[in-house]
Amino acid sequence: MPEMQREGVLVRPLDRLSQTQVKLIDGVSRDLLEDPGLLCYNAAAADVYRDAGAEIKREKGCVRVRLSSSIIDKALDSAPSKIVLGARDPSNRLILDAHEPRVRFGSGA
């Protein structure tokens, strides 16, 4: 049985940023996630980062989390290319596919 889904509107991707700009943003983002890192105010979340290999340092009231490029790459590689948002009626499912840019409108609840 084929996957049923709400169709949405297929759109042509726009290149709003050049590849040079994308690489610059990626590099600067990685630099910031490694140093100074981010502040985490939830101990359980900090443990998840630590278990993934991040360097953590407990500070007063929070935990500083430093993410290396290798941790970021591992997380990006593990992201699914397709996500299915289920519905009681299969014809209302939304299939979000990273390789097929579509615009979909939802009704809320």
Token pair in block for residue 26: 């990626």
State the amino acid at position 41 in one-letter form.
Y
Judge whether 55 and 38 are in contact, CB under 8 Å.
no
92 assigned to some structural domain: no
62 assigned to some structural domain: yes
In this predicted structure, what is the pLDDT of residue 6? 63
Evaluate the omega torsion of the peptide bond into residue 101 and state whether it is cis, within 30 degrees of 0: no
70 assigned to some structural domain: yes
89 assigned to some structural domain: no
Question: What is the domain range of residue 68?
Answer: 17-78
In this predicted structure, what is the pLDDT of residue 8? 67
In this predicted structure, what is the pLDDT of residue 85? 84
- Residue 52, CA distances (Å) to 49, 73, 75, 91 in order: 5, 12, 9, 37
In this predicted structure, what is the pLDDT of residue 55? 98
Domains held by the chain: number: 1
Judge whether 103 and 8 are in contact, CB under 8 Å.
yes
pTM score, two decimals?
Answer: 0.71
**What does pLDDT average to in each consecutive run of 10 residues of the chain (109 residues)?**
59 81 97 98 96 96 97 95 86 80 67
